[in-house]
Amino acid sequence: MGEEVKDIEKAFSELDYLFLRSKEGRIYQLMIEAVEKSLIVNTLKLTFGNQIKAAKLLGINRNTLRSKIKKLGVCVLGFR
């Protein structure tokens, strides 16, 4: 879980930079992606990489989960 926490902390630390650079509209997406990635990684750990079970726990379709895994760059090999 340490790596996911670091991802969230990194996202928060980037907030100052984003505010200073006036990149409006990027802050929300950055934070959502950091939290979403952490949630997906931890759910996959809980289900030992079983994407069907993870999708059910998250309340989303398996194809949606797979799409998010790809978009967020989640490595699924280390959960089994």
Going along the chain from its start, the domains and CATH numbers come out as 2-79 (1.10.10)
CA pair distance 4, 73, nearest whole angstrom: 12
Residue 43 has pLDDT above 90, yes or no: yes
| Amino acid residing at 61 | N
What token pair was written down for 54? 């993870």
Is the pLDDT score of 80 beyond 70?
no
Phi, psi of 41 (to 5 degrees): -60, -45
Tell me the Ramachandran region of residue 59: left when phi exceeds 0, alpha when psi lies from -120 to 50, beta otherwise.
Answer: left
- Residue with the larger pLDDT of the pair 12 and 42: 42
